[in-house]
Structure 1
Amino acid sequence: MFKKYLALDVGDVRIGVARSDAMGMFAHPLEVIDRTKTKAVKRVQELCRQENTKSIVVGIPKSLDGQEKRQAEKVREFIEKLNKSIEGLEIIEIDERLSTISAERMLNETTNKDARGKRKVVDKIAAAIILQTYLDMKK
């Protein structure tokens, strides 16, 4: 049986979301949750229901030397809220070093969007990079 996943790139202002295909092989950018306008945990719950998944891959930010800083603590606080809100949720943490930088480079090479336009999509592309990294590691 195949397993579907969601992935989250959790930031202070936005959360990038990606999903896997039905076979759990490929990651696709899904949406960006604006944390200033949306109850993020509730939206993730809705997405889990819509996408029929109980498995979420969450990027844990680390510095280049592998150290976890304050942002990693904030991400883990968000993970704790998810765990309390979604029964039976499997959360897989993965090192997300450079995922946003990779997403920004990809956007710079493939589009002429201005900085504001890129901000609207970079987080969901970063989430897709996080998820694809995990899916590739599983193979």
Structure 2
Amino acid sequence: MSAFRRGVRLAVDVGRARVGVARCDPDGMLAVPVETVARDDRSVARLAELAGEHGPIEIVVGLPLNMRGEDTPSTQDARAFAAELGAALPETPIRLVDERLSTVSAHTALRQSGRSQKKSRSIVDQVAAVVFLQHAIDTEKRLGTAPGEILAPGEE
């Protein structure tokens, strides 16, 4: 079993309208929200800027698989977005991780904190990114191996 890989990670929750971004500290103690990026022709460039600011050892992109663990159109969209991000940041590994139920968990947490779904819309993607990043960190610490898969260069 290998040790936890020390270093900041950025997490990206890819949605049709918005991209939620979260990060963790170098020791993987806590994942925190960073920002919500509009999903447009500047979103990959903004994520590249955030990567420059935070210096992550990798970027974790959530894969919205269905409950049977199969790809959906949203999964294919997230893979394509991850490939674009990988092309923009060839020196930064892109890791694809299962993010099933992270948005549901994010909505639940926000509702429990007293926020309506309408008021939560602008931050739910950040919170979903926090949820699956924290899960990925905890999984790596528990199992000694990073979850998910590394996106190979040129892969989509």
Identity score, percent: 36
* Partner of residue 66 from structure 1, selected from 61, 69, 72: 69
**Aligned twin of 2:32:** 28
Corresponding residue SS for 2:84: helix
Aligned-residue RMSD, C-alpha: 1.4
Q: Which ranges in structure 1 are unaligned for 5 or more consecutive residues?
A: none
TM-score by length of 2: 0.83
Alignment: residue pair count: 137
State the shift of 1:24 in Å. Answer: 2.4
State the shift of 1:71 in Å. Answer: 0.7
Runs of 4+ in 1 over 3 A off after TM superposition: none
8 Å CA contact retained: 2:11, 2:61: yes
**Aligned twin of 2:80:** 77
**Aligned twin of 1:44:** 47
Write 1 or 2 for the structure with the bigger share of helix: 1
8 Å CA contact retained: 2:7, 2:57: no
* Partner of residue 110 from structure 1, selected from 97, 109, 113: 113
User: Cα gap change, 1:108/1:114 in structure 2, threshold over 3 Å: closer, same or farther?
Assistant: closer
Over residues 27-70 of structure 1, what are the superposed CA-to-partner deviations in whole Å (9 max), with x where a residue is unaligned? 1011111114x611001100001111141111100111111111
State the shift of 1:117 in Å. Answer: 1.5
- Amino acid of the residue matched to residue 25 of structure 2? D
Confirm or deny that 1:10 pairs with 2:18: no
CA distance in 2, matches of 1:28, 1:4: 11
Deviates more, 1:25-34 or 1:119-128: 25-34
CA distance in 1, matches of 2:18, 2:91: 25
